Homo-oligomer: A and B are copies of this chain.
Amino acid sequence: MKTRLCMPKTALILLILSSALFAQQSSTELNLMPIPKSIKITTGKFVLDKNFTIVINTKEVKLFRAAERTINFIAKQTGLFFVNQFPTFDKKQNSNYVEITVKADEELSLGIDESYELNVNEHSIQIKSANSYGAIRALSTLNQLVTTDGKDYNFPCVSISDSPRFVWRGLLIDVSRHFEPVDVIKRNLDAMAAVKMNVFHWHLTDDHGFRIECKSLPKLHELGSDGDYYTHEQILDIVRYATERGIRVVPEFDLPGHATSWLVGYPELASAPGPYSIERNWGIFNPTFDPTNEKVYEFLEIFFKEMSLLFPDKYWHIGGDENNGKQWDSNSKIQDFMKKNNLKSNHELQNYFNIRVDKILSKLNKTMVGWYTDEMPDLSKGYIVQAWKGRTSLYETAQKGYRSLLSHGFYIDLVQSTEYHYQNDPIPPDSILTDEVKSRILGGEATMWAEFVGPETIDSRIWPRTAAIAERLWSPSSVNNMENMFKRLDAVNLQLENYGLTHLKNYEMMMRRIVKNYNVEVLKTFVDIVNPLYTYSRDHPHVFKSFYPLTRIVDIAQPDPKVPREFDLLVEKLINSPKLDNDLVNEIEKWLVMWKNNHQKLIWLVNSNPILKEIEPLALDLYNCSLVGLEAMQLIKENKRSDEIWLTKSSGVIDIAKKSKAEVELTIVKSIEKLIRKVQ
């Protein structure tokens, strides 16, 4: 066994180096994500057979169920007919078992020890952890380790010692702007657990819908939800489901703004007279609770009390963002109150409100979390601030003594690249913060805001990019090789599908809906290379409404698509290589010819299906880009420079093609531009 020291300071990553191992790299290459803190790969494998079983040393239900899930997951992967469906408590055999030893039963809470040791030997696998949650993380690793060399399914022999870098690794799902049924939430919790995320931040209320049953104040869900809300039973079921996977559930009840849906049933609590109706447009809206009305606090106390019976976690998100203050400005009663209480700005009034809310929550033993606002309220130091507008606020609040979370740079709803998110380290290596301040940076959260996603598309907006974010928050900072990350992400992406995600399978389904044909190849060739527009740039001729269909090309197109990324790698390789590589030339030309030849069939589809009409100019752009690209390739092959006329024409094609249409952009344009620059 040969090893190499990669991370001398904090962790030890030991990579396959011996030539014997290199020889079988394709079968033993590990596609783990997040990468463990320390991993030693040894020779040999644990061969799965029908006697495979998991032995656990505790009767804790959550560990039992996690082990059962792993048995089922591996059975599904391998098609093996295991003799035992359930984990056992006694070791009855000498080989083909996983033995899990946990030290104590602990309640899931912020900062709980999630570390584990995982040792795969040829005959047995040992998992050791402080509590069941560490073991549950180890089982996620084990699921990712299943491999095959063609002869059998096996686990490569490894020795892993792992623990997370940050204690808060979250995913926010906004279920207000578009509702997500229970099964959508559950499959995403499974996927989160697969990549060791541990906080589900549930954005349950906003202007567009109040998504939780409230028995003591029933007009909240009855009038504020269009009938789309979770019942108590469903909430409890999801919280249990998450807890069993080591995921804390932090509910968010956004206040005092973003409150339209609350005020439909209780307009008397608003800062301006009603009536209110559920908001159907996107944006920031006026309806805001009246912080000077004592009834508001009585109401919130009743509400929070009921909700606290559903959410056991100590942390409680109160939103607090984007209150535009318009209702406060124009309400003379509120203005009088501010003067009387020496509150000089809306900010100070909101601060007052927050302190009142904090008091109510304290009585319920809950600690507040809130979105960063320009000035920090005068709250107890326990308060957690979530930075979203920029990363400076992350450090500022930590320096002021608050704990903080990074969401800026993790706004997955904006449809940015995996690379961008992956590089968004909450504490970059060159950080000058003191260790004490650093310790207050708890981690971060990917945010799935739901203006442009519904149950059919949400998975493809979350995954696989969020797996890269999960790695950023779990693995050491030094794990940052982009090429290797993409290689592993590709494998993990496929494996995530086994947890029920629809991010891959809805892709062609949505195309079948449009073309009404089982064969979607022509349309797919096109959609494979377009990217939904960066959300803030989406400037549709229609002001988008919450009930508009999410079935167009922009909704089908996958964020950060794979084909253009791989095409760009080819182009980069070509233009940077000192001598002409014919294989590379052929490969690039194959793509260009394919896009060119697809054009006529694509136009036929466009003309047959009105929903595709909007992509016609883009189809033409692609055709023109392919032609220009092929011409550039000809010059490259002949080792010639372009003339001015061609250059002007080609640049014109590129300029037009760079402009997004139908809310998507052609992602291969920049690569073709590189080919043009090459022959310039």
Contact = CB atoms under 8 A, between A and B. Distances in A.
Interface string A490-519: 010010011000101110110011001110
Interface of A: 72, 75-82, 85, 148, 150-153, 181-183, 231, 233, 280, 491, 494, 497-498, 502, 504-506, 508-509, 512-513, 516-518, 542, 545, 547-549, 551-552, 607-611
Contact of A548 (B75, B505, B506, B608): B75
Contacts of A498: 513
A656 to B, nearest CB: 24
Given A82-B547, A494-B516, A505-B506, 12 more contacts: A75-B548, A75-B549, A77-B513, A79-B610, A79-B611, A85-B545, A85-B547, A151-B610, A153-B611, A491-B516, A494-B512, A502-B505
Nearest to A237: B231
Nearest to A611: B79
A136 to B, nearest CB: 18
Contacts of A77: 513, 551
A291 B650 CA distance: 87
Contacts of A153: 610-611
Given A181-B183, A508-B508, A607 B513 contact: no
B494 A505 contact: no
A551 B508 contact: no
Contact of A607 (B72, B150, B611): B150
Contact of A608 (B150, B182, B607): B150
17 contacts: A75-B547, A77-B513, A78-B610, A78-B611, A79-B549, A79-B551, A79-B552, A81-B542, A81-B545, A81-B548, A150-B610, A153-B610, A182-B183, A491-B516, A494-B517, A504-B518, A505-B505
A280 B506 CA distance: 34
Nearest to A151: B610
Nearest to A552: B79
A551 B76 contact: yes
Nearest to A74: B549
A608 B148 contact: yes
A607 B151 CA distance: 8
A509 B491 contact: no
Given A79-B611, A81-B545, A497 B509 contact: yes
Contacts of A80: 549
Given A75-B548, A552-B79, A610-B148, A497 B516 contact: no
Contact of A513 (B76, B181, B608): B76
Contact of A610 (B152, B233, B491, B608): B152
A513 B497 contact: yes
Nearest to A544: B81
Which 6 A-B pairs give the minimum distances between C-beta atoms? A79-B611, A505-B505, A85-B547, A183-B183, A75-B549, A76-B549
A513 B518 CA distance: 21
Contacts of A82: 547
A82 B280 CA distance: 13
Contacts of A150: 607-610
Contacts of A79: 549, 551-552, 610-611
Contacts of A517: 494
A548 B81 CA distance: 5
A547 B231 CA distance: 31
Contacts of A549: 72, 75-76, 78-81
Contacts of A181: 183
A609 B148 CA distance: 7
A85 B516 contact: no
Contacts of A504: 509, 512, 518
Contacts of A512: 494, 497, 504
Nearest to A152: B610
A370 B624 CA distance: 68
A474 to B, nearest CB: 23
**Which of A75, A502, A505: most chain B CB closer than 10 A?**
A505
Nearest to A233: B233
Given A148-B610, A231-B233, A610-B151, A505 B497 contact: no
Contacts of A75: 547-549, 551
Nearest to A608: B150
A604 B491 CA distance: 20
A608 B153 CA distance: 10
A231 B232 CA distance: 13
Nearest to A518: B494
A620 to B, nearest CB: 18
A151 B606 CA distance: 10
Contacts of A76: 513, 549, 551
A491 B516 CA distance: 7
A518 B607 CA distance: 29
A337 to B, nearest CB: 38
B505 A508 contact: yes
A508 B512 CA distance: 14
A153 to B, nearest CB: 6
A547 to B, nearest CB: 4
